[in-house]
Structure 1
Amino acid sequence: MRVLLSTYGTRGDVEPLVALAVRLQELGVEVRMCAPPDEEFARRLAGVGVRPFPVGPPVRDMMRGTTLPSAAELARYRTELVDAQFDVLPAAVEGCDALVVAGLAQIAARSVAEAAGMRYVYASYAAVNLPSPHHAPPPRPGWPEPESGDNLTRWEVDAHHVNAQFAEVLNGHRATLGLPPVDNVRDHVYSDQPWLAADPVLGSWPETPGLDVVQTGAWVLPDERPLPAELLAFLDAGAPPVYVGFGSLRPAPDIARRAVEELRAQGQRVLVSRGWADLDLADDRDDCFTVGEVSHQRLFGRVAAVVHHGGAGTTLTAARAGVPQVVVPLQVADNPYWASRVAALEIGAALDGPTLTDDTLSVAVKTALAPETRARAAELGARIHTDGAAVAARRLVEALG
């Protein structure tokens, strides 16, 4: 049995599919994956024995600036990515029994699966990405936000934007494959039974007529890498520090600096993650330390709180560790959604957006560090599921069998 997995995005998009790949391999499935051509993704796939099929431009190159590419640049990238997918996926999927994709960027995938006559599964990492009257669509970079309207109206506008971007190029390729055109590109990609690879304790799916969502739980693997000796020495030298990191995203230049200043003003030690933004805010004082890529699963259990951008992976890992969070959402994709979940569950605090004021940050930090917040975070952490990738792998193998 062979399965092709496909996604395009940062590490937060790739890692869940790596987890699914490993669990599928344990069931005897041969796994291939389409992913961005960045070297770190190629190394990651090689490390778990998955054959890579690079698609599209390197993601890290697109994330080098402090702001996202312009709307015109994003439109061009998206169209070129669809063309690249139709170039690569037919060969990558040859001999496979199923194609599992994650993310709306996988515009070509269902058509390729349809032409090959194989099973297609779409997966989302957050409930907010799927249409429901219970929430509005997530912000999509380069597309204007609806000015008003109820959630269903906003989802209709969202579908219009997706069609405007992709309908012509998608249906052109479908015609070449001898397939009929689609009139709703977004819902075509999502399918009638998408999978939700998110923890039900942290972000459950609100029942919605017309969409049969299968919530498997989040797709994660144990990360047992030991922490570096220098980091262990810093952790052992005093009280648990507060972690500050923004993952693959590049925050506004002053966000991390102001967060460190506020934490220091409250008497906290600080641990700064460089991330793709290559942050380095440590100075000659011994209360701040900068760290590169390390196991968050090992680290977060030893920090007082986690200040981050609201990525699905970081939110989940902090929640599993039972540590309070301060989310500074960067207003892209599911960041605002995970910020709202942290606030609603009272396991931390969330800012309204990436613009900070001294008062809002101060209050957020104090809320997260309060004993009652830590108690709630610890209680919720004990209820987080850890078997989502295994659940999804078994479900797929049973369906194919």
Structure 2
Amino acid sequence: MRFVLVTYGSRGDVEPMAGLAVRLRALGAEVRVCAPPDYADLLDDAGVPLTPLGWPIRALATGAIPGKEKAGLSDISAELTAMAYETVAEVAEGCAAVVATGSFPALAGTRNAAEKLGVPYVFTSFSPCYLPSAHHPPLRRPGQVIPPEVTDNRGLWDLHAENLETLFGETINTHRASIGLPPVSGVRDHVFTGHPFLAADPVLGPWQETPELDVRQTGAWIRPDTRPLPAGLEAFLAAGAKPVYVGFGSMLIRGANTQEVSRAVIEAVRAQGRRVLLGSGWADLALIDDADDCFAVGEVNQQALFGRVAAVVHHGGAGTTTTAARAGAPQVIVPQVADQPYWAGRVTELGIGTGHDGPTPTAESLSAALKIALAPETGARAAVVAETVRTDGAEQAAKLLLDMTGRSGSAG
């Protein structure tokens, strides 16, 4: 039995797919992942074949794609839809199912390919807040204006559907016509389907049942990471009290340059009497002096690291939030985009940390947030919640996929 896993997004979108791929292979399935070419090394380390999809994601995020510097959303969306379709169509014929997440235009192209090939398609969300429900509002897009008379969640989700229709409906249906498929109305529900997977931990990101969707929540898809920490980092950790880790992953911090953000976070941590561990990431955080209370690292094994720090300051991606929660590390989330405000809210509600007010930290604002995260009661609560976080989400999803496709031949 063969599965094709598809995502066009940052590391937070690719890492869970690698986790699912590893579990599917352990259960005897063949797996191929279609993802941005940036993550060839990650998937190679997981032992999973990669079919590159689209432009390098970091280059797209930073406006570094040659010839695309002035391209608008409609042009980028149309190309990405077509690229996802072509990539998936090349590798998915005859597979048991296509499992997809990530960028909406890429999802649309992936669903078109699955439909054209007659292959089951499974949409997956890593956060409950992306899925329509009367129990919570949708995320607001930048610049979106909400009519003052629309206040209930169902009305807000109707506007969300209309917004996606305006942004992507014509693009998606133009592509469908070009490959001989009929047009669809309601592109959001077409792409999300009525039976999505939710790969989020039930405690950290609970789903409330709703008649709108038949959601199958599996738990977060975690790939066990056994890599040792670098020798220099081990020496730094051993040289003093637990440091505060600050890193924003695949995020560019809005409203400030690298030097300003680096100085702000280091001063904030020092103000709490703590040592500083910087994760450089896409924000390119860097040391501001040669004091021995600071150390900078690149990409490391967060599963091994987060249990050895006093707190984790991060952007609020679903994967980083889950990893920190599993480790029992108090968190400060500095949300930038997408579902990150949701995770900041959940961390605050659970009492395992706090959300930072706004996307751009200053020394004063981050210091205030760190006082909450480093309080003894926050650490105690984080330790309690850590015991509840499930680690078998990828295994549950893999078994569910095998059961669904083996029993009925249809996953969507």
Normalised-by-shorter TM-score class: over 0.9
Matched pairs, number: 395
AA aligned to 2:119 is M
Correspondence for 2:58:
60
Distance 2:45 2:240 in 1: 36
Q: Structure 1: which amino acid aligns with 2:112? A: S
Q: One-letter code of the match for 1:327?
A: I
Equivalent positions of 1:182-331 (< 5 A) are 182-251=184-253, 252-253=256-257, 254-330=260-336
SS in structure 2 at match of 1:106:
helix
Q: 1:385 aligns to what SS in structure 2?
A: coil
Write the distance in 1 (CA, Å) between the matches of 2:96 and 2:312.
41
Could you tell me which amino acid in structure 1 is paired with residue 155 of structure 2?
Answer: T
Shift of 1:400: 1.3
Quote the Cα distance in structure 1 between the aligned partners of 2:262 and 2:346: 22
Give the letter for the 1:6 counterpart: V
Which residue matches 2:96?
97
Among candidates 329, 340, 358, match of residue 335 of structure 1 = 340
Moved more, 57-66 or 294-303: 57-66
46-55 or 126-135: which moved more?
Answer: 46-55
Structure-to-structure mapping, 1:75-90, within 5 angstroms: 75-90=74-89
Instruction: Tell me the residue number matched to 1:368.
Output: 373
Q: Give the distance between the partners of 2:63 and 2:321, measured in 1 at CA.
A: 24
Name the SS of the counterpart of 2:3 in structure 1: strand
Change (3 A) 1:249 1:139: farther
> How far off its partner does 1:278 sit?
2.1
Aligned residue in 2 for 1:394? 399
Distance 1:290 1:337 in 2: 28
Q: Is the 8 A contact 2:265 2:362 kept in 1?
A: no
Q: Distance in 2 between matches of 1:335 and 1:360?
A: 18
Return the offset for 1:357: 5.2
In structure 1, the residue matched to 2:410 is none
- The 5 Å alignment of 1:73-152 reads 73-103=72-102, 104=104, 105-140=106-141, 144=144, 146=146, 148=148, 149-150=150-151, 151-152=153-154
1:64/1:277 contact within 8 Å kept: no
Distance change >3 Å, CA 312–CA 47, structure 1 → 2: same
Letter in 2 for 1:172: T
Counterpart of 2:329, as a letter, is V
Deviation at 1:356, TM superposition (A): 3.7
Alignment partner of 2:207: what SS? coil
What RMSD in Å do the two structures reach over aligned CA positions? 2.0
Check conservation: 1:107, 1:189, Cα contact below 8 A: yes
- Secondary structure of 1:108's aligned partner: helix
Is this contact kept in 2: 1:246–1:273, CA < 8 A?
Answer: yes
Cα distance in 2, alignment partners of residues 304 and 276 from structure 1: 23
How far did 1:364 drift? Answer: 1.1
In 2, Cα distance between equivalents of 1:382 and 1:240: 21
2:386 to 381, 384, 391: 381
Partners of 2:281 and 2:364 lie apart in 1 by: 26
Cα distance in structure 1, aligned partners of 2:47 and 2:241 = 40
SS at match of 2:177: helix
Q: Where does the alignment leave 5 or more consecutive residues of structure 2 unmatched?
A: 407-412
Aligned-partner SS, 1:32? strand
Residue 54 of structure 1 and its aligned partner are, at CA, apart by 1.5
Which letter does structure 2 place at the counterpart of 1:307? Answer: V
- What is the CA–CA distance in structure 2 between the aligned matches of 1:145 and 1:322, rounded to whole Å? 39
Change (3 A) 1:290 1:84: same
Tell me if 1:164 matches 2:170.
no
Q: Is the 8 A contact 2:133 2:212 kept in 1?
A: no
Q: Write the letter of the residue equivalent to 1:165.
A: L
| Structure 1 residues 255 and 169: alpha-carbon distance in aligned structure 2, compared to 1, 3 A threshold | same
Structure 1, 194-203 or 148-157: larger mean CA deviation: 148-157
Distance 1:358 1:159, change over 3 A: same
Which secondary structure state, in structure 2, belongs to the residue aligned with residue 280 of structure 1?
A: coil
Query: What one-letter code is carried by the residue in structure 2 that aligns with 1:376?
Result: R
How much has 1:158 moved relative to structure 2? 1.8
Gapped regions of structure 1 (runs ≥ 5): none
Q: Which residue of 1 aligns with 2:41?
A: 43
2:201 counterpart SS class: coil
Structure 2 counterpart of 1:373, which letter?
T
How far apart are residue 59 of structure 1 and its match?
0.5
Aligned to 2:409: none
* SS state at 2:245 partner: strand
Kindly state the Cα deviation for residue 145 of structure 1 after the two structures are TM-superposed.
5.0
1:286 aligns to what SS in structure 2?
A: coil
> 2:183 — aligned with what?
181
The CA deviation at 1:70 is: 9.3
CA distance, structure 2, for counterparts of residue 201 and residue 349 of structure 1? 16
